[in-house]
Amino acid sequence: MFIEQEYYLWKLTYDLVVAQDFQVLNMSTERGEVWLEKEHDWQTHVIRLSHKQINWKNELRRDLEKSYRQLSQNKKIFRGGKVQFHALYVSEYPPVEEWENVENDIPSSQKNPIFLYYMDDENKTLEKKKLYDAFQLEQPLIDQQISEIEMEAMLPYLKHQLVKKQQDQRRQVMSIFDYGKPRMTYFLLAVNVFIFLYIEWVGDSTSVETLIQYGAKFNPAIMDGEWWRIATSMFLHIGFLHLFMNMFALYYLGTAVEKLYGTWRFTWTYLLSGLFGGMASFMLNPHVAAGASGAIFGLFGALLFFGVQHKQLFFRTMGWNLIFIVIINISFGLLVPQIDNGAHIGGMIGGFFATSVVRMPKQRDRSKQLIAFVIYLLLISGMAVTGYMGLFNDEEGLSEVQETQELNQSGDYDEVIEITSKALEEPGKYEAALLFNRSFAYLQKDETSAAKKDLLRVLELSPEMAEAHYNLALLYQQVGEEEKAADHAERAADINPDQNDFKELFDNLR
């Protein structure tokens, strides 16, 4: 009878929602139709339960097609990947025709499979078992031996409880995004801006020498024991644009992550991500580096961890947009050499593992947290050893080349000679550049014999360096060896004909 089928529908729905923690997508108590959702075995499952009598196979097929179109129109459900669609009918009698394989007639059912459960009076127990077995759940006992009056009395309670549960689920979802307040985000913004302004006041944030002095990532100094630079470098920025872009990202990502995780989890993730990204930069990038981007990319990692824990919610809110932004940023970093992509990717990986240690609020799994912490320590230790050994970063000397170029410009020639002389003990492939910078310093100090020796060695290593030929021509001109000066001036002009200084010197000497 009608009341028995309605009671069975709402009693079954009550168990799935209240006892088995299915999420209510949509519910109509008037039409006797409910849409539920559950994550199971890393896939999204959607169940449509309805109470209706269907008499013919074609009628069942049309109703299935209509339901499937409704599901397909909700694109957000599909964002998490393949959806398993379960269509459940509660009815007194089955269709009069053969209907068991009607779901196979639905177009595109191979892409998002359809599972049909037709619960007529003879098959309710069997179909219910098939449904619960699909989710590896224990079956409830639905008592149908009670009177119709008792069933009718129970229905308002069941519907009311389901409506209340739906409202609770919605409030719970909203509370996930508003767990904490972004206090630390604002504090970090202020700290980064203050440090930038201070460095601009005492020096120049785009100066390599100033950056090194105030704690930038400088591989030679780190290898000499100044490991603290891995931490301090995340609070320095190279120029206003660099600061603006990072603080813009920190504001939007930081507020989102701190609201999700709370202040202390956010702080933990930010700092450990910055350390991880800095160590990845030390391992992979020989340049002097600074910036909060490693820590900021760690916030991407925290949001990706949220996606692992709440896949459905993740893909319905920020999911694909976040993944798209990450891909764009990493691709841009790979295409632009000046960007420290090692710090970016390292920070994101570090952020994922750092968040795995603290997990989401009100989530605890001691064994998984310990494993994540051990993995983090092993990875960061491995990067430290690898960076120190130079297995992936064999460009020793590049940092000293950058530093001494700037020191030459500022007139610190004695320091240039000291730094390059030490770096030339193990110069790697930057021997010519280091020698050239030292020769320039020697020339400015009128130590011509030392400058000449360095420049001749430079041309042995790099015969096509026009600047070395030009400086050697000037040196020979200074000591009165006009013929040698003309030869090198000619060579410099041939290598770089667009440089007017080279051509003018050659014209004067010939």
Catalytic-labelled residue, pool 67, 91, 233, 293: 293
Q: Are strands 33-40 and 23-28 parallel, antiparallel or unpaired?
A: antiparallel
B/e letters for 183-207, b = 16+ CB within 10 Å, e = fewer, are: ebbeebbeebeebbeebbeeeebeb
* 303 burial type by CB count under 10 A (0-12 exposed, 13-18 middle, 19+ buried): buried
419, containing H or E segment: helix 413-423
Catalytic-labelled residue, pool 344, 356, 469, 488: 344
Rounded Cα–Cα distance for residues 20 and 13 (Å): 10
- For the chain, give the longest Cα–Cα distance: 120
Residue at token pair 């051990």: 374
* 381 burial type by CB count under 10 A (0-12 exposed, 13-18 middle, 19+ buried): exposed
**Count of CA atoms in the C-beta half-sphere (13 A) of 248:** 6
Other CB atoms within 10 A of residue 359 CB: 17
* 18 burial type by CB count under 10 A (0-12 exposed, 13-18 middle, 19+ buried): middle
* DSSP symbols for 146-164: S-HHHHHHHHHHHHHHHHH
* DSSP symbols for 215-243: T-B-HHHHHTT-TTHHHHGGG--SSHHHH
CA distances to 173, 495, 506 from 498, rounded to whole Å, are 65, 9, 13
CB 215, CB 233: distance < 8 Å: yes
Other CB atoms within 10 A of residue 19 CB: 11
Rg (CA), the chain: 35
> Has 109 been annotated as catalytic?
no
Rounded Cα–Cα distance for residues 424 and 416 (Å): 12
> Has 344 been annotated as catalytic?
yes
CB 485, CB 474: distance < 8 Å: yes
Query: Where in the sequence numbering do the catalytic residues fall?
Result: 293, 344
